[in-house]
Every structure is written in structure tokens, then in C-alpha cells.
Structure 1
Amino acid sequence: MNLFYSLIAFLVLVLVLVLVLAINNDIQDLEQLLKQLVNEQRESNDLVGLGAVVIQNGTVIGPSVSGERKKGSQVLLTDNDKWHIGSITKSFTATMIARLVEKGELSWDTTIKEAFSEVDGLNPGWNSVTLDHLLTHTSGARRDIPFFDNFKKPADGLERMMAREKLVIKILKKKPKITPGDAFKYSNAGYIIAGVMAEKKTGMPWEELMRQEVFAPLQLHSAGFGIPQDGEDKLSQPWGHWNKNWLSTMLAMKASNIGVKAGTQSDITPIAGPAGTIHLSLKDLALYANEHLQGEQGRGSLLKTETFHRLHHPSKNNYAYGWFKDSQKIAGAGTVYWHTGSNDRWEASLVILPDINTAIAVTSNESYDITIQSVQEIINQLVQPLIESYNQSIQLTAKVLSH
């Protein structure tokens, strides 16, 4: 009898080893494919820099990067470099606010009237607008902040908090662009308003709330705000790139990649932080995506399962809380949660595929039409191999468990 059980244990061990070897081989193949796709897309489209990472079943594949930190510098990108992710920041802001909601400090139904009760002169059209409206782009808020506010650079901390509130009050003194709740209207301004509501309730800057509620719990050590800081202009981090040929840009000719790509360390105003100023490494972006992936499947650590489901449940125009949901976006992949981000100098895309327990992130330190096409092409070419890899892991795991 002891010999029988020993034999069974030995067979199970062999099956486990076969499973591990098969998974490792799949990972190596996927890493090679990722590297190939990133290199091909960057070189064929003459991009300054391109990077990508995948996480499947909790295993990080990559990152893979190709190109320079600054055009013409010959300083190459590294796996640990940081990338500006633009409007992907919105899901981070919504996640932080969800933490405050679970703590009872805010409610999805908290209204602008309640949050700004001490402020006189707000347009009554905002009275019933809630955090829910703001985070799902159904608040009626304008798309962007007033033009000249884009040039303001208040310091981190109290000064920036005060500048944000001042800007938001200016917006709220004018009537909403559309009737709140009636329709989807993408709004960076709406996310800034939501960020200020969180600041007013907690007395803490949005940046500190992000560090406390999202970065620290998920150990996103590379995460920060604005462009990745290049210490003493020594190209210690990538620079963003923009097209100096203003005429080609004005004539919407960016797809032809006309003009001179100039490195820049400029960014949108930090006042707009809640709508789009986070930077972090590709690996940390994958870990953040994986938390949402696990949360959707009931295994998240940051929020309750029902809260994750709310964050991922779309309102109008298939938009949830910082995520678009689209089952048709990528053929054969099932449900897709996604968002893109850009400050016109950087480009980023994040895709979550819960049906195959996978997330994909692709980033670039330049933003043109051809960059967007390259990012999408990498994602499209990765999906089928990732579906096959996931199915194989499920089959092999089932064989081991059956024994």
C-alpha cells in the first residue's frame, strides 16, 4: 500500500513538473514574440521609443522596450524606465475614490452641492451632480479646463490643492454643457472636479491620496506624477516627443509623420492630475492592471469584489469608472476593459482580458497617429497567442488535478 501511494505521489510530481516546464516554455515563447513585435513596430514606423508588457495568470511577461530615451541621444530605454500614461490615470483616480467610499468618507451619491456647500454662486445646474456622474462622464461637464489654466504650474501640496479648487469653482459657476445624467460626454474637467471633492473631504492633496490609497498598498514603487523626472538632464528617464512642424499638425497630417520630433520635458498642468498625470514603470502598470483583473474575478486585495464590479460596470457609451468595456474590440478575447492615454507627447494603452486572465500594456515616448497604430498592432498580434497559452495552461492544470 505504501508503494502504491508513493507511486501516485511520484506521478503527480512528474505531472506538476511537466506543467511547470510547459508554462515556462510558453512564457519564453511569449517573451520572444513580445520583443519581436516591439522591435518591428518601432523600427518599421521610425518611433523614438516603444515598450510593452503582459501579465497572464499572475506572471509578468516582459517588459520589452526598444528605442531611445530621447531622439538622437543613443541612450537606450531600459526595462525599468517610467512612462507617462495620460488618461489611464482616470481609473487610478476612480480606484482611489472607491477606497474612500468603502471607508465611508465619500459616497457614490455625494453631490457637488454637498461637497461645495460653503461656496456661493455655483450654477444650480450642478446641484444634483454626483461622484457617479463625474466618474462615468455623465455629469455634463466640459471636456477640458479653460485654455489659460493649462499654463499654471502650482507646487505640490497645499498650493496645488488651492489652485485645483479655484479652477473647479470657476467651472462650476457656469452651467453644465449638457443636462447631467442625460448623455455621455468625455470630460477631463469632470475627473478634476471629482478629485477636488476627495481633497475637500479628506483635507489631503489628490497626489497624497493616490500614494496612500493605491500606490502604497499595491507596492507601485515607481509611480509618481507628471513627466518622469530626468535628474540634471542626464537622460536618466525617457523624454516625451512632439512634432515641431506645427503646420503639419494643424493640417492633420500627423499620420504621415512629417516634421521634426523634438524631445520635451513639458506636460499638462499638474492641476489636471486626477484626469491624467501619472507615470510609472511598465511592470508596475502590469501589477496595477492585474489587481483590477483579480478584482473582477473576486480575488482582489484593494477593494471588495462588489466595488470592483461597480468600477467595471459601464454606464452610457460603454464607459465605466475609468474603463471602456467592449466585447467586440478584440476578436476572440471575450470581454475587454481598456483605456488609452496621451498628453500629446507620450502614448499609452492598457487592456484587460478577464476571460483569459490577462492584461496588456503598451507605451511610447511620442504621440502621433502612427504611434497609436503601432500600439494597437502589438496588442492585436499578441491576443491569439495569449488565448492559446491560457487554454493550454487550463488543460494542463486540469490534467494534474484529475490525478
Structure 2
Amino acid sequence: MKLKLGFIFFYCLSTFMYGQDHAQYADSVRISNAIPELSYAVVTGDKILEINTAGRHSVDLTDAATLNDRFHIGSNTKAMTAFIIAKYVEKGNLKWDTKFFAVFPDLKKTSKAVYYDITLEKLVSHQAGIQPFQGENDPLVPDFKGNSQQKRNQFGKFVLTLNPAEIDSEHKYVYSNAGYTLATMMLEKVTRKSWEQLVDKVFNEDLKLDVKLSWPENISAKDTWGHSFENNKLSPVPSNTDYRLDYTEPAGDINVKLTDYIKFIQLNIQGLQGHDNYLKASTYHFIHKGIEGYSLGWFNSYENNQDFSTHSGTAGTYYTIAAIDRKKFIGYIIFTNSFNEATVNGVRMVMRKLKKDYGS
């Protein structure tokens, strides 16, 4: 008993010392890279090993960072959209090999024949050859009318008239925000609910998280301001800024607190450990490891004989990153409210430090 208690004491002391060291290190990196706010966490399937936040809501404000702050997570939304889709695949509304045009036969006549065999799985894993729509060199998009779901449907129809992106033999996928719009269209059609309604249903009603859409509210409430990088300086972006994601919201338009995102990551870790929860363990295995390279909302990354699911996200004003060590079942999360080269470099430094100390 004394030996066991001694081990527990040593483990807790080591974790506490790690926490102090990492908090100081992360804040020094934040300051040296001019990141207004940086929050991070290290978690297992059932524990928070470390969590911390530092900085300010904006370069122009004195509001101190808190763990109640919200961050726009950009393309880390993809894992959450894939999670929703996986739930309805389990329910039998769709199958991973369901063809897009089995759900939308009326769109076939206006679409290029090269897309006739694309499936839900191919769309979510970026193997359908859909044009990327990542903001640079995108085809000119018409100004569609209607609500968000109606605009996505019009955008999807338009995307399928374009020539496909070329998939090279090395990667076997082309990362595409528009592909997630097409996958979401399939889900919306069979569930008769919009993506926005499904986000609310799965994450807020079922899982009791606090997930919201678009930018965190910072005009009528104290919260984070994202920062763009213009004229070699960070500029705070108010939440009422009209930022068009080109109808690819399911690929990158969720905001969330770190404490709630932790719960999402922990569900994934538990599933990878073989435990059923909101999804079946077999579903988590397929989401994370079912497809080489980019699986379903997650990149497969192999570092120094380690095995990771990882993803980063930005819409130009926040930068977030998440990584799950699939051998040690540890999750690493870093949220920031700026985006430029210095932010990315700072986040990478903090991530390397956390992985080295917890993963070695």
C-alpha cells in the first residue's frame, strides 16, 4: 500500500511540475511570437492531465484570458462533421459507400461524368477529386440566394460542374473544403435536418456540450477576438465581420470552449481504446485509421515510431491544433486567437514540448 501511495504521489508531483514548467514555457512562446491568447490542454480518455491559458482577448484590450473563452476552430470542424455523419451511418440513414447520386439523382444530368461514382467515404476522406476551395485560386463562385442549406445545395451543384482536381500518386487525396459540403448535403437530405440543426442535436442536446457556429461573440460579450495579419501587424476582427466561407461551413465554421472540445477529444480517445460511447469503438477506429493518409476528419501522422491522429484549423484569424497519440492514448490541444507565421511557429514549439514530455 505504501509503495502504491508513493507512486501516486510521485505521479501527481511530476504532473504538477510539468504543469508549472509548461505554463511558463507556453507563455514565453506566446509573448515572443506576439500571440494575443494561447490555451492548451493535455488529456487522456478520462482525465485532464494539464490545462492552462494565458494572454488577452485582443491586442487592443486588457481582458485576461479565461478557460471560458471561445475559439473558432476552422478546419478542426471537419472531425466534428465526420463525427455527426458517422452517427447517422450507425443509425442506418447512410452507408460509407453510398453514392452521392443515389441521394441526388436529379443532379446527375448537370454534373461531370467523372463524379458519378463518388461516395460518402470518398468525400469525407478527400478522395473524390473535388476542387479544394481553400481561398486561393478558387473558381469564381456565383452569389447564391436562400438560407444556409439552400446555398450549400446550389454551391454543391455548381462544384460538380467543374473539372476535377488531380490526385497525385503520392498522397491519393486532394484536401477539399467543398467535398465536405457535398458530404453534408447527403446527410441533410436523408435526415431532413440542416447541418446547423445536426450540430445542435449531436453536440449540444445529446452530448451536453456548448458548441456554436461562426465567430465567437465579442461585441456584446467579453470573449476572444480573432486577429488577421495585415501590414505586418495583428488586427483584431470583430464578430460581426461578414466573412464568407463560400458555403463550406461544415468544413470549418464551429467555435467552442477548450473545456468542451476536451470532452470531444476524450470521446475519440475512449473509442480508440476500444470503448463504445456515443459512437461504437469500431466506428472510431474507422474514422481515425480506416483510410491511409487522410481518414475521416483526421490526418494520419507517424512521428518517431509514434502513431497520431492530427489536424489544424484556421479561417485566417484563429489557429487551433489537435493531436491524439493512438499508442499512449493522450490528446494534445492548443487554441490561439491569431493567425500568421509567428503564431504557427509558436504553436508548433509548444506542441513539440508537450509531446516530448508526455509522450517519451
The answer, yes or no, to whether TM exceeds 0.5 is yes
Query: CA 1:357 to 1:102, structure 2 compared with 1: closer, same or farther past 3 Å?
Result: same
Query: CA 1:169 to 1:151, structure 2 compared with 1: closer, same or farther past 3 Å?
Result: closer
User: Which consecutive unaligned segments of at least 5 residues does structure 1 have?
Assistant: 1-10, 246-257, 389-403
What is the match of residue 255 of structure 2?
Answer: 279
- Among candidates 311, 325, 328, match of residue 300 of structure 2: 325
Whether the aligned pair in 2 keeps the contact of 1:94 and 1:321 (CA below 8 Å) is yes
Query: CA 1:381 to 1:46, structure 2 compared with 1: closer, same or farther past 3 Å?
Result: same
Whether the aligned pair in 2 keeps the contact of 1:95 and 1:214 (CA below 8 Å) is no
Matched, 1:98 2:86: yes
What is the match of residue 313 of structure 1?
Answer: 289
What is the match of residue 378 of structure 1?
Answer: 350
State the 1:72 CA deviation: 2.0
State the 1:240 CA deviation: 0.5
Whether the aligned pair in 2 keeps the contact of 1:152 and 1:269 (CA below 8 Å) is no
What is the match of residue 363 of structure 1?
Answer: 335
Question: Can you list the C-alpha shifts for 1:238-296, whole angstroms capped at 9, x where unaligned?
Answer: 01101222xxxxxxxxxxxx235343434443832110011111122222111111111
* Residue aligned with 1:335, SS: strand
Letter in 2 for 1:315: I
Matches within 5 A, 1:2-401: 11=1, 14-56=2-44, 58-119=46-107, 120-144=109-133, 149=141, 159-178=147-166, 183-221=172-210, 223-232=211-220, 234=221, 236-245=222-231, 258-265=232-239, 266=241, 267-269=243-245, 271-313=247-289, 315-316=291-292, 318-328=293-303, 331=304, 334-387=306-359
User: Please, what is the CA RMSD of the aligned residues?
Assistant: 2.4
> How many equivalent pairs are there?
353
* Residue aligned with 1:326, SS: strand
Query: CA 1:303 to 1:149, structure 2 compared with 1: closer, same or farther past 3 Å?
Result: same
Question: Can you list the C-alpha shifts for 1:291-350, whole angstroms capped at 9, x where unaligned?
Answer: 11111110140211221111112535x11111111222xx46x21110000101110100
* Residue aligned with 2:185, SS: helix
The 1-side partners of 2:165 and 2:310 are apart by 26
* Residue aligned with 2:51, SS: strand
The 2-side partners of 1:209 and 1:137 are apart by 22
Richer in helix (by share): 1
Query: CA 1:112 to 1:178, structure 2 compared with 1: closer, same or farther past 3 Å?
Result: farther
* Residue aligned with 2:38, SS: strand
* Residue aligned with 2:324, SS: strand
Letter in 2 for 1:208: Q
User: Which consecutive unaligned segments of at least 5 residues does structure 2 have?
Assistant: none
The 2-side partners of 1:62 and 1:268 are apart by 35
The 2-side partners of 1:64 and 1:370 are apart by 20
Calculate percent identity across the aligned residue pairs.
Answer: 25
Query: CA 1:360 to 1:238, structure 2 compared with 1: closer, same or farther past 3 Å?
Result: same
Query: CA 1:22 to 1:153, structure 2 compared with 1: closer, same or farther past 3 Å?
Result: farther
* Residue aligned with 2:247, SS: helix
Query: CA 1:270 to 1:26, structure 2 compared with 1: closer, same or farther past 3 Å?
Result: farther
* TM-score, normalization by structure 1: 0.81
Whether the aligned pair in 2 keeps the contact of 1:123 and 1:172 (CA below 8 Å) is yes
* TM-score, normalization by structure 2: 0.90
The 2-side partners of 1:21 and 1:176 are apart by 58
Letter in 2 for 1:79: L
State the 1:179 CA deviation: 7.2
State the 1:386 CA deviation: 1.1
* Residue aligned with 1:118, SS: helix
Whether the aligned pair in 2 keeps the contact of 1:131 and 1:194 (CA below 8 Å) is yes
Q: In terms of Rg, which structure is larger?
A: 1
